[in-house]
């Protein structure tokens, strides 16, 4: 099996790009990755393009975005396909790109993920994302992803002792990282006094889905990210401007589509299994990971995922947050990009964006103040639905 490396990364600023066409936003990130790799003039030599997107037809009345993006970049006749796997679409596209290269079917694959979500209201965007839930027993009963997040948080609080202030501490940590990230949607200072301890905290940090407050949920974002994959054992690997960052492990898993069918709703089995498979593939353990990007659409998920992948004991991750262990200078930095909470969450692009952050950190290219010291391995977890389809990726600096 061929070794697969990432030789180019691209990213748009996350935020509001609703004035633009989705294919153009995707093409911008793709061009950024091709320039980074020194391969823009050779783009027609790419063997495969994969575009990750969840809901362009519903959100911006636009479909066939893979072929549209290829046309924007004048890349015909390079083959292009769309990958849709809910909020895990991005990492799923990376996984499929890895499979194409590792199998020998392709030597160079461009993976792009993105979404334009702000052409509609926040209420409608929430509804569109909620269509991934079971129609009869969840969606038709009025459940939404924030609703699931609130229930999960309440169960975790009652079992393990987490407080709302702990969620606020996590938000402060991620905003500290996001404010330094040039791509982040929200680049604003966030203090514990303003959102938890101060007299106006309840006004500033109002409830979204009790006990989740505004600063415990991610924004609705537009944007795109891209990675260029190469067969590291092919002569083509020498054509690129930068040394590859190797994909050491990639795996996915599913759990019951209906959350109520799970024996213990607090156990995210798909996260645990995907992580275990990625560790096995890479030959690594949780102790080897230098930093991680974990899917925090709701702050509780960063904590719960960090336990499922083996960074912390179950029910103890919030204690690590209190101690600063997940900060940039902590022993296990998590969401160095600002996470979905601060960087943003254009659902189809999030998984690719997480991998871009792994590469930036492993190259030593993160902005001052949020660069992890001497990282060797980075891990991302892209979370689809409410944990019913999850993809884990481990990257290595060889």
pTM, full prediction:
0.97
Instruction: Please compute, for residue 353, the number of CA atoms within 13 A of its CA located in the half-sphere on the CB side.
Output: 38
In the predicted structure, residue 217 carries a pLDDT above the cut 90: yes
Evaluate whether residue 167 is within a structural domain. Answer: no
Name the packing angle between helices 350-363 and 89-102 (round to 10°): 60
Evaluate whether residue 276 is within a structural domain. Answer: no
pLDDT digits (tens, 9 = 90+) for 112-170: 999 999 999 988 999 999 999 999 999 999 999 999 999 999 999 999 999 999 999 99
Cβ(289)–Cβ(379) under 8 Å? yes
Angle at 28 between CA 224 and CA 97, to 5 degrees: 60
pLDDT at 398: 84
Q: Percentage of the chain surpassing pLDDT 90? A: 96
Residue 379, phi then psi, degrees to nearest 5: -130, 140
Question: What is the C-alpha to C-alpha distance for residues 379 and 396, in angstroms, rounded to an integer?
Answer: 9
Evaluate whether residue 166 is within a structural domain. Answer: no
Cβ(36)–Cβ(241) under 8 Å? yes
Cβ(273)–Cβ(392) under 8 Å? no
Evaluate whether residue 109 is within a structural domain. Answer: yes
Evaluate whether residue 98 is within a structural domain. Answer: yes
Evaluate whether residue 290 is within a structural domain. Answer: no
Quote the strand ranges of 84-241, DSSP E: 108-115, 207-209, 212-213, 223-231
Query: Which pLDDT band, with edges at 50, 70 and 90, does 238 fall under?
Result: confident
Query: Residue 123: is it exposed, middle or buried by C-beta count within 10 angstroms (0-12/13-18/19+)?
Result: exposed
In the predicted structure, residue 218 carries a pLDDT above the cut 90: yes
User: The domain that contains 12 carries what CATH number?
Assistant: 3.40.47.10
Query: Which pLDDT band, with edges at 50, 70 and 90, does 233 fall under?
Result: very high
Query: Which pLDDT band, with edges at 50, 70 and 90, does 60 fall under?
Result: very high
DSSP-derived secondary structure for 36-67: HHT-GGGGGG-SEEEEE-S-HHHHHS---HHH
Question: What is the C-alpha to C-alpha distance for residues 184 and 177, in angstroms, rounded to an integer?
Answer: 9
Evaluate whether residue 263 is within a structural domain. Answer: no
Residue 229, phi then psi, degrees to nearest 5: -100, 145
Question: What is the C-alpha to C-alpha distance for residues 393 and 398, in angstroms, rounded to an integer?
Answer: 16
Element at 8 (helix H, strand E): strand 4-11
SS3 378: strand
SS3 75: coil
Evaluate whether residue 206 is within a structural domain. Answer: no
**pLDDT, average across residues 368-397:** 97
Residue 367, phi then psi, degrees to nearest 5: -65, 160
pLDDT digits (tens, 9 = 90+) for 319-369: 999 999 999 999 999 999 999 999 999 999 999 999 999 999 999 999 999
pLDDT at 150: 97
pLDDT at 189: 87
Question: What is the C-alpha to C-alpha distance for residues 293 and 375, in angstroms, rounded to an integer?
Answer: 13
Q: Which domain range does residue 66 map to?
A: 4-121+221-239
Question: What is the C-alpha to C-alpha distance for residues 94 and 226, in angstroms, rounded to an integer?
Answer: 9
Handedness of CA 31, 55, 275, 267 (dihedral sign): positive
Mean per-residue pLDDT over the chain, rounded: 96
pLDDT at 260: 94
Query: Which pLDDT band, with edges at 50, 70 and 90, does 5 fall under?
Result: very high
Query: Which pLDDT band, with edges at 50, 70 and 90, does 241 fall under?
Result: confident
**pLDDT, average across residues 239-254:** 95
In the predicted structure, residue 1 carries a pLDDT above the cut 90: no
Name the domain count of the chain.
1
Question: What is the C-alpha to C-alpha distance for residues 362 and 372, in angstroms, rounded to an integer?
Answer: 8
């Amino acid at each position: 099996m061929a070794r697969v490396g990432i030789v180019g990364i691209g990213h748009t600023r996350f935020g509001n790009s609703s004035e633009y066409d989705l294919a153009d936003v995707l093409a911008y990130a793709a061009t950024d990755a091709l320039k980074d790799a020194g391969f823009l003039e050779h783009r027609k030599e790419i063997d495969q393009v994969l575009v990750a997107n969840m809901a362009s037809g519903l959100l911006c009345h636009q479909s066939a975005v893979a072929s549209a993006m290829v046309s924007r970049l004048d890349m015909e006749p390079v083959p292009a396909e769309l990958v849709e796997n809910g909020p895990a679409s991005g990492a799923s596209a990376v996984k499929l790109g890895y499979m194409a290269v590792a199998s020998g079917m392709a030597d160079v694959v461009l993976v792009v993920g993105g979404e334009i979500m702000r052409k509609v209201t926040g209420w409608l965007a929430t509804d569109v994302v909620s269509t991934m839930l079971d129609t009869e027993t969840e969606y038709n009963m009025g459940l939404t992803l924030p609703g699931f997040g609130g229930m999960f948080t309440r169960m975790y609080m009652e079992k393990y002792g987490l407080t709302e202030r702990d969620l606020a501490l996590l938000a402060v940590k991620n905003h500290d990282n996001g404010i330094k990230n040039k791509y982040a949607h929200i680049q604003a200072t966030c203090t514990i006094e303003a959102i938890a301890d101060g007299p106006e905290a309840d006004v500033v940090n109002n409830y979204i889905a009790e006990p989740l407050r505004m600063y415990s949920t991610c924004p609705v974002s537009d944007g795109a990210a891209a990675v260029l994959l190469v067969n590291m054992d092919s002569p083509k690997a020498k054509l690129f401007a930068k040394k590859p960052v190797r994909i050491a492990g990639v795996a996915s898993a599913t759990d019951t589509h209906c959350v109520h069918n799970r024996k213990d709703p607090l156990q995210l089995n798909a996260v645990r299994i995907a992580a275990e498979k990625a560790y096995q593939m890479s030959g690594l353990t949780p102790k080897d990971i230098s930093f991680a990007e974990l899917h925090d659409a709701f702050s509780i998920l960063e904590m719960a995922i960090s336990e499922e992948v083996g960074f912390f004991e179950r029910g103890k991750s919030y204690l690590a947050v209190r101690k600063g262990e997940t900060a940039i200078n902590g022993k296990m930095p998590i969401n160095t990009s600002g996470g979905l909470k601060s960087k943003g969450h254009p659902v189809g692009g999030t998984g690719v964006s997480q991998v871009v952050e792994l590469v930036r950190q492993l190259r030593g290219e993160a902005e001052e103040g949020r660069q992890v010291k001497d990282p060797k391995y980075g891990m991302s977890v892209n979370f689809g639905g409410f944990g019913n389809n999850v993809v884990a990726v481990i990257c290595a600096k060889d």
